[in-house]
Structure formats: C-alpha cells, structure tokens
Structure 1
Amino acid sequence: MTKKYLPILQVGDVLLSPDIITERFCCDLDACHGICCVEGDAGAPVTLDEIAQIEDAVDTVWNDLSAQAQAVIDKQGVAYPDRDGDLVTSIVGGKDCVFTCYEDGCCLCALEKAWRAGRLTDFCKPISCALYPIREKTFGNGLVGLNYNRWDVCRDAVKKGKELDLPVYKFLKGPLIKRFGEEWYKELEEMAASIEL
C-alpha cells in the first residue's frame, strides 16, 4: 500500500503539516520518563509574555529546582536567545531545562507540577511545551505554521498513539484550543473528518 501524501493544510491564518492529522501520538511518561525536557541542545521556545509569567512563578518553584538550575537562573535568567536568535528557556549543562525536577526517576516540569498542585494559578508551562510534538513557526505575513516534529526519544509516544489510534491533533486538543480557540479547533476537526486516510 502506498502512502498518501497530502498538501499543506490551512485553517484560518494557520498552515498545518498534514502529519498533524494523519500521524498518531500519545505521550507515555512511564516509558520515556520525560526525556524531552532533558534531551536537545536548547531550551523550550518562549514568548516575551511567557518569560514575564515564568519570572513571576520562579519564587513559587524555586525550591523544586536543582542547585545547578538555580545558579543558571541567577546568572542568565529564565530564558536566553538560542543560536537562531529565538528565545528559549535556560538550560543546565547544555541539556536539562532549568525547570526540570525529578520524581521517582521521572523528569517533570516544576512549573506544571506547581500548577497541578494549585500553587500556580495563571500559568502552567510554555505553550511550546504543551503543544509538543507540534512546533510553531511565525511568518512575517501574519501566518503561523504548525509542523509535527519527529524525535526518536518520542518513539514510545508514537507506539502508544498507534495503539490508541489517537491522531496528533486529538492528543493536543486542549493546548490547540488554548492557543487558537474553540472555533479554530472545530474547523480543524471538520477538515480532518473530510480527509480520507
């Protein structure tokens, strides 16, 4: 059976890789232990607004952070421009996000952990983290592009997504609605339903 290739899709001002509809994904924290917060050569992409929210949250999560992470934040702050000039969360030792914390051998986000515990109310984590494995790119003409990012550390999530038959866009329904709104997501669902796989 040959794979069907679809053109770039568009919902409102958002261009989408068709993989967001056709591929399956579901995080499997028991299998991967949160390695996506550790691996890589830069932190998570953040906006200026998110940096301000993270700075407001630092005192709340400070004691959840490692001494090394605290030292990095003291020295350079919660974010820095990466080699492409994009703002990303600060990292420790060239890999761990400064907001990683470990529990039972699993890497968790200290910001999200505090939010789930009710210690933070307005901010959970950067939208780039919530949207993963989707990566967002802003274009100069007002368009936003969404791509499905394939990463070998997420192979267990791909496996679990296939087992559950869960498309990427359905796995990320909450973050997509938070980022683009209910109406936009309904239009995405309608488009997905019209595509024959």
Structure 2
Amino acid sequence: MIIIENKLISDDVIDHAFVCDLSKCKGGCCEEGDAGAPLTKEELDLVDEYYPTIKPYLTKAAVKQIEKKGKYQYDEEFGWVTPTLPSDNEICVYAYREPDGLIKCAFEQAYNEGKISWKKPISCHLYPIIAYEGKHGDYERLNYEPRKRLCSPACALGESLQVPVYKFLKEPLVRKYGQEFYDVLDQIAKQGAAGSEE
C-alpha cells in the first residue's frame, strides 16, 4: 500500500502493466458492468451543460432512454451514474458503436473535435483504476481493477511495452489529483524499482 496525503494507493498501480488495446477490447468497458459510469456531483452540471452539444452523436434509442430516465440517475451502490441501454447489452447512453464494433464516448469525441472542454467522466478516464471514497469522505482508496477477460489484451500489451498502470493513466491521475501527486507517485515507483535491482 502506498500512502500519499489522504490517498491509499494499491501497489498494483505501480507493479502491474497496462495499455488499452482498443483493437481487441473495442471499448467494452463502456457496456460491461453493474451500472453506468459513476459521476461526481460536479460532473452532473457538466453533463447538463454539454448534453445539447453531444446529443447529435447519440443513437435514437439512447436519446429516448435519456428522455425517459434523465441524463443521470442515482444508484444505491454507486451513487450518481450515467443511464444505460438494457436493449443493447447495458451500454452507456453516452456511448455509440462504430460499424467496426468500436465503442466511442460522445463526450470524448466532441472534446477531441474542440466542441467542448470536458473530456469525459473522471471514473471512465481513470479506468482500470477505481477510486473509492472513505465512509466519511476523509480519504480515498485507489485500486487497480481490470476486467479479467475484457482487459487481458491490455495487460498483455502493457507487459510487452513495459508501461506501468500509473504511467498509462498519467493524464487522468494529474487531472484528478494534480501534478504534484503524480510526481510523488512516480518517485515512489522509481525508488521501488531501484531497490528491487539492488
């Protein structure tokens, strides 16, 4: 366990390798799971703000589901989450499938095209790291939780490229916790690697 301020980080974050292999998984994390993507309270406002911009990217079924269920919903276990489409393998309503089967995020696509300034929910951006808040919100646990079957190509690619989980996820880690947090994590990882070589 690594402790940085009030963050408890699993050793797996630096000990394991991971690089998304979209050609193999097709973005399946957007449709596999027990609920939609978790959203922070701040992100609810962003979903509201950017929905008109990303609506043209969505399927008719997704728009219909959003009009029926709302742009987000509350789940007893996960808190605020994006709705999903039961008729399409519980895919997130904000995702859409390309002809080749690749699943894309409407928010990320609009961001990449310069139409909005928010990339996507931080829970999606951080995956396969999942952040859990302590019961009283006074600390966070960061666990490495890839899906065994879906993410096996990403684990294999990460191993072959020798890219640790935390390095692959540098952008979202900095986005959520800041550059200083990432630099400390990187230093701890490097010290551990140097120690194992001695």
**TM value normalised by structure 2:** 0.91
Deviation digits for residues 82-118 of structure 1 (CA, Å, limit 9, x no counterpart): 2415111111116100011122321000110010011
Aligned to 2:103, which of 107, 121, 133? 107
Equivalent position of 2:84 in the other structure: 91
2:97 alignment partner AA: Y
1:144 alignment partner AA: E
Equivalent position of 1:5 in the other structure: none
Q: CA deviation at 1:41?
A: 2.3
Equivalent position of 1:69 in the other structure: 62
Equivalent position of 2:18 in the other structure: 25
Deviation digits for residues 39-93 of structure 1 (CA, Å, limit 9, x no counterpart): 1221111011101101111111111111111111111212112241511111111
The answer on whether the counterparts of 2:38 and 2:78 sit within 8 Å (CA) in structure 1 is no
Could you say what the CA RMSD is over the residues aligned between the two structures, in angstroms? 1.3
SS of alignment partner, residue 24 of structure 1: coil
Structure 2: unaligned runs, 5 residues or longer: none
Equivalent position of 2:142 in the other structure: 146
Identity of aligned residues (%): 37
Instruction: Report how many aligned residue pairs link the two structures.
Output: 189
The answer on whether the counterparts of 2:26 and 2:101 sit within 8 Å (CA) in structure 1 is yes
How far apart in 1 are the matches of 2:25 and 2:113? 23
How far apart in 1 are the matches of 2:97 and 2:113? 16
Query: Does the alignment pair 1:195 with 2:188?
Result: no
**TM value normalised by structure 1:** 0.92
Aligned to 2:112, which of 112, 116, 139? 116
SS of alignment partner, residue 185 of structure 2: helix
